[in-house]
Structure 1
């Protein structure tokens, strides 16, 4: 360990604790200080050493335990004490996890760090819901955007004309803006009957899925009352869900005899 400590920026994966990488699990076990987010499985927190200091800095919509700037300072402060710090985030640290900001702060202070990628919910949640984000006959590409509009930028964060043209569009953190999102997509040419899925808590035991079309999903969500985190998937690949889920259940029944 160096005098300035060492920091792991680790992705915990989408929720299912078995989806963390081997290297990610090693970084948890090695940590002397674990700074973790809300969407991290409690099972992973049990992997820390007995002497590890655990600090919760989780964020929920409308409620942040700590501002991002304060989290940055917290990581730096413990690293400067010579500690091995693991910053544990849901999903992947560089996919809307603000890991890039934390990495930049560490680089500016000359603190050694390593990014440990994690499986992002943008691919894991659809997979667990029976939706492939690409398919040779339906979608050769997919795009991932945030459902939040950026602050501190000129104009909108998302180019909705570009987003509406995506073969498969995955939207993270967009549940509260669902009515506006669907209207923007249709205004920019997305067909109202395009299939869409809302996946609550993808890969967690409490996962729920609601499917419909771009024009009907808002009403369906009002009935279902899903809660964040929700991954939104838009595109023809959503229509594969019924067939794949049915086949998966049939295969499981056959396997278990």
Structure 2
């Protein structure tokens, strides 16, 4: 018989525990075992009960504590043992979170799955930068892409489509590929002076927001550590906001 308790794929948001949904907080507190990403910090894990088993299964800059097949197996074993299982993912589980692989694997055992969405990094970065991801008349489209590719493979993106001037582009895991992204977008027709905002450790106490131009993207990202999660926002909607305070403009400009 498959377990009656579903495995919950829960969005931990960008890192600030106050940006968790109330449902996510409840599911974390009720879990008997939590399999969590590397980017889920102590402040969120502290919401679990002392007796809850915490299992790190994160991936950071090519250093994988567990590969996806191993994670799938661990989730199924815990669920079949009758435990209340939470798979805690940074951001939103359905945005570059590899949820489909886990759902499909659990389904082969008849294990039900539920998803609790979370605030994705692009939304949190725009909020921190007092910016919008869309702008009437200038940014009618919002596109999420990942710059992560398998080792040795080129980034397989439609650069012509991404270079459309009415698009805000949110590039997840974009630090290492930033020079290529800037060059390819400009070559595909995006203006060199297009506004960019680089969000590092968004929503955390050590957050950095760096503003500049698309043609300076390689320079702007050069000093960011491999271990710092980085999101690139590209487009006129994220240009410096006149409504921001002087302190905020100073903090996010470069």
If the length of structure 1 is used for normalisation, what is the TM-score?
Answer: 0.88
SS in structure 2 at match of 1:157: coil
Distance 1:249 1:192, change over 3 A: closer
Q: 1:124-163 alignment to 2 at 5 Å? A: 124-149=124-149, 157-163=156-162
Q: Deviations over 1:22-78 (max 9, x none)?
A: 111111011111111111131221121232111111110020111011011100010
Which has the larger displacement, 67-76 or 106-115? Answer: 106-115
The aligned residue for residue 252 of structure 2 is none
* Conserved 8 A contact 1:12-1:88: yes
* Conserved 8 A contact 1:126-1:202: no
Find the aligned partners of 1:201 and 1:124 in 2 and give their Cα distance: 10
Find the aligned partners of 2:58 and 2:119 in 1 and give their Cα distance: 19
Distance 1:221 1:51, change over 3 A: closer
Q: Deviations over 1:206-230 (max 9, x none)?
A: 11111111112212333x4355311
The aligned residue for residue 45 of structure 2 is 45
Deviation at residue 4 of structure 1 after TM alignment: 5.6
The aligned residue for residue 210 of structure 1 is 210
Give ranges in structure 2 of 5+ residues lacking alignment.
Answer: 250-254
Q: Is 1:246 the equivalent of 2:245?
A: yes
How many pairs were matched up?
246
CA RMSD of aligned residues (A): 2.2
The aligned residue for residue 231 of structure 1 is 231
Q: Deviations over 1:187-219 (max 9, x none)?
A: 111111111111101111111111111112212
If the length of structure 2 is used for normalisation, what is the TM-score?
Answer: 0.89
Give ranges in structure 1 of 5+ residues lacking alignment.
Answer: 251-257
Q: Which has the higher helix share?
A: 1
Distance 1:210 1:146, change over 3 A: same
* Conserved 8 A contact 1:4-1:80: no
Find the aligned partners of 1:151 and 1:134 in 2 and give their Cα distance: 33
